[in-house]
Structures are given as structure tokens and as C-alpha cells.
């Protein structure tokens, strides 16, 4: 079993930056591909990005590519999402996920999920 807890979500102005954290416990952290998803009210869950076991490879959704960066520190069992040039459309609940065996945007491949952290971007 893996437990994930997100933190760092807050209110921020458009153009600003914010870093979200995901703390993991349980199963060995470095054996899982990790990902971030987000969901705004009334919309489907959207893939944000994913990172490989060692952090050597990443995959990003088109809407955030070039603005967001995923990293992981396996020694600290932590994954980060650095968000820059934030836009109002980035407003959503952000979820940390783990369990995929390869980089994927398919949410069904991620077995473990956190409870989410809210990011609100104002114009």
C-alpha cells in the first residue's frame, strides 16, 4: 500500500509561480512512476505530467508543457510540481498519483491517489 498526501495549493495571481508537493509513504517510492492530474469544477480530470522511477524522464500535458516541471527526490519520498506563468485556467484541484509502470497520461494506470490540493489562479 502507498499513501500520498499533496500540499502547497493556494490562491495566486496570474503570471505567478507555485510549487506543489506530494509526500509518499508505504511501498518503496522509487519503484513507481508518479504523476499529477488536475480537475476543475464541472470538467473531466486532466493529465498534468508524469515522472519516471528515477526522475530521468518526464511527460507533460499540452496545456502545461513549458510552464510546469515535475521532479522527485526518492531519498525524501517526495515529488514536486513547479508551476510557472500560471493562468486562470490552471485553477483546479491537483492530485498526486502513483503506480504506473511507464510514463502515461492514462489515469486508470495509476493505482494510488492523494486527496488533492486546491490551486486558484486569479486574473
Dist CA 48 CA 75 (whole Å) = 24
pLDDT 10s per residue in the chain (123 long)? 889 999 999 999 999 999 999 999 886 666 789 999 999 999 999 999 999 988 899 999 999 999 999 999 888 889 999 999 999 999 999 999 998 889 999 999 999 999 999 999 999
Report angle CA 49, 55, 2 to the nearest 5 degrees. Answer: 75
What is the distance of C-alpha 27 from the center of its chain?
A: 19
Cell 509502470 belongs to which residue?
A: 101
What is the distance of C-alpha 119 from the center of its chain?
A: 12
Amino acid at each position: 500500500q502507498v499513501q500520498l498526501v499533496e500540499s502547497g495549493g493556494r490562491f495566486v495571481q496570474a503570471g505567478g509561480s507555485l510549487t506543489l508537493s506530494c509526500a509518499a509513504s508505504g511501498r518503496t517510492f522509487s519503484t513507481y512512476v508518479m504523476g499529477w492530474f488536475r480537475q476543475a469544477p464541472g470538467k473531466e480530470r486532466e493529465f498534468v505530467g508524469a515522472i519516471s522511477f528515477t526522475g530521468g524522464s518526464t511527460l507533460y500535458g499540452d496545456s502545461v508543457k513549458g510552464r510546469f516541471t515535475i521532479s522527485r527526490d526518492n531519498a525524501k519520498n517526495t515529488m514536486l510540481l513547479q508551476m510557472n506563468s500560471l493562468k486562470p485556467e490552471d485553477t483546479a484541484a491537483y492530485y498526486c498519483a502513483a503506480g504506473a509502470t511507464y510514463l502515461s497520461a492514462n489515469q486508470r494506470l495509476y493505482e494510488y491517489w492523494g486527496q488533492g490540493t486546491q490551486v486558484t489562479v486569479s486574473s
